[in-house]
Amino acid sequence: GAVVSQHPSWVICKSGTSVKIECRSLDFQATTMFWYRQFPKQSLMLMATSNEGSKATYEQGVEKDKFLINHASLTLSTLTVTSAHPEDSSFYICSARDLTGGEADTQYFGPGTRLTVL
Amino acid sequence: GQNIDQPTEMTATEGAIVQINCTYQTSGFNGLFWYQQHAGEAPTFLSYNVLDGLEEKGRFSSFLSRSKGYSYLLLKELQMKDSASYLCAVRDSNYQLIWGAGTKLIIKP
């Protein structure tokens, strides 16, 4: 149980284009999902907390107009990187909080999306 | 401020035992998590501690001392596939996860 999927697993795009990443909880409902970014050999950095039916909460320094988050249902959150630039190239990982099972509100991670902006 | 410290890198031998330490200073405490992350992959959940003591799960065990702000992850009978980064994360009083930078574990034959 507690499976989270992400799509796509990798994407290469041109500078200036927008990229949408989907995060789905497959076997549980997630009222809260989290979006992380991880640069090579660095730790996870929380970008934003996505709450179903309400606006996302962004961490300090994360541009909400650049990283658009939509959590329209209990099983789906999307992250859109708008007008992507090479410095946005990173490993983007989502996680979902399972409140109904698992161990005490554990976050389960999707497999990640590797974004390369040329 | 909030801070989680773990060693940057450790090396151990296949079949041996290794202990990865984590110390934390956070605003409140609502549990400590250990995750395993293989290179290029997302983290996977290993263990959760909220009360003092040892939690055992097969070859992996995790220990917590809240009074000392300290935890360790113990890996027994090391296998080559255990080569990965191990992330310590603490949930603070706001139920936010505060992440350590991770410990890269290298297993040698």
Q: Is there a contact between B48 and A104 if contact means CB atoms under 8 Å apart? A: yes
B16: DSSP letter: S
Measure in Å the smallest separation between the Cα of B18 and chain A Cα atoms. Answer: 21
Residue numbers in B near A103 (CB within 8 A): 45, 48
What length is written for chain B? Answer: 109
Burial of A89 (0-12, 13-18, 19+ CB in 10 A): middle
pLDDT score of A104:
59
Strand partners, A45: A37
Ordered strands of the B18-25 beta sheet:
B3-5, B18-25, B70-75, B60-65, B53-57
Strands A76-81 and A67-73: antiparallel
Tens of pLDDT, residue by residue over A73-87, are 889 999 999 999 999
Q: Is there a contact between B101 and A109 if contact means CB atoms under 8 Å apart? A: no
- CA–CA dist B64, A5 (Å, integer): 31
Question: The tokens 């009074």 sit on which residue?
Answer: B67
Q: Is there a contact between B101 and A108 if contact means CB atoms under 8 Å apart? A: no
Residue numbers in A near B45 (CB within 8 A): 102-103, 106-109
Q: Is there a contact between A104 and B40 if contact means CB atoms under 8 Å apart? A: no
- CA–CA dist A34, A51 (Å, integer): 9
Q: Is the pLDDT of residue A103 over 60?
A: no
Residue numbers in A near B44 (CB within 8 A): 109
Residue numbers in A near B41 (CB within 8 A): 111-112
Tens of pLDDT, residue by residue over A14-59, are 999 999 999 999 988 888 899 999 988 788 889 999 888 888 999 9
E strands, B9-69, in order: 9-13, 18-25, 32-37, 44-49, 53-57, 60-65
The average pLDDT across A105-110 equals: 82
